[in-house]
Amino acid sequence: MDVQTGRLFVMGDIHGAHKALRQCLQRAGFDYAQDTLIQLGDIVDGTEEVYECVEELLKIKNLIAIKGNHDVWFNEFLHTGEHPRVWNHGGLATVVSYLQHVKPDGTYSTTMDGFQTSLIPDDLPLSHRQFFNRQRLYYIDDKQRLFVHAGYDPKQNFYGQAEENYYFDRSLWLDSLAAHDQQYPGGQQGEEQPFAEIFIGHTATTKWGIDYPMTAFHITNLDTGARHMGRLSIMEVDSKSYWQSDPLPALYGEEVVRK
């Protein structure tokens, strides 16, 4: 494993919000050389600062980067030149971000035949392509704590599931939240659990009108809505202290985050 020399932090979905990323790291007093950051994925697709976000994360010596579903879609473009979601779901902002930095004279357009852009994988810096290629499906530390983007199918053995379960399947969180809210001893609380704690993103807490981390039993959700109208959050894993950015509309304007 990665040697941990300072504090251990976990951060939720960033979605291109570099201003929010900087605020979280600064407010947490994060030490780029000594502390460890586990980032739970979905760095791309949201606001037009994906390039800056990757550059910022590359400065962190002890970074454990988990892949989110949006990152998987972007990485498919990096490998094939084709985007599986045709740059929908916030992807246009990712295109714009990279065009601004690596191909200022580049183009994009929406036509009857779909989305077209002159951006190609080789336009991106090698360090960025390597970054997305090296993201992990999940991370388990020496205290048996799991860090994963979406979760997994709790009806299956954790190991060996379809890869997309780890970055797409919401059932672990939704089942646990339902059991927690109904206050009955079944479901996730009553079953033998393979992990001491689980930290996830992917399902924004703003769906429940909340813009801060939520916990159901031993599962903590750090996706606090940086994709649109919420905030970005960072948590110190051992103490559970957390820090947040300003709301995204305050940083970028409502017209930007509503795209």
Which domains, from first to last, does the chain contain? 8-257 (3.60.21.10)
Residue 232, SS3 per DSSP: coil
The per-residue pLDDT for 259 is 56
| Average pLDDT, 10 consecutive residues per value, the chain (259 residues) | 76 98 98 98 97 98 98 98 94 96 94 85 98 98 97 93 97 91 53 86 96 96 94 98 97 71
Tell me the C-alpha distance between 248 and 257, whole Å.
7
Residue 255, SS3 per DSSP: helix
Count how many Cα atoms sit within 13 Å of the Cα of residue 191 in the half-sphere of its side chain.
14
Q: Kindly report the pTM of this predicted structure.
A: 0.93
Please report which helix (H) or strand (E) contains residue 243, including its range.
Answer: strand 242-244
The per-residue pLDDT for 192 is 64
Q: What is the largest CA-CA distance in the chain?
A: 59
Tell me the C-alpha distance between 81 and 85, whole Å.
12
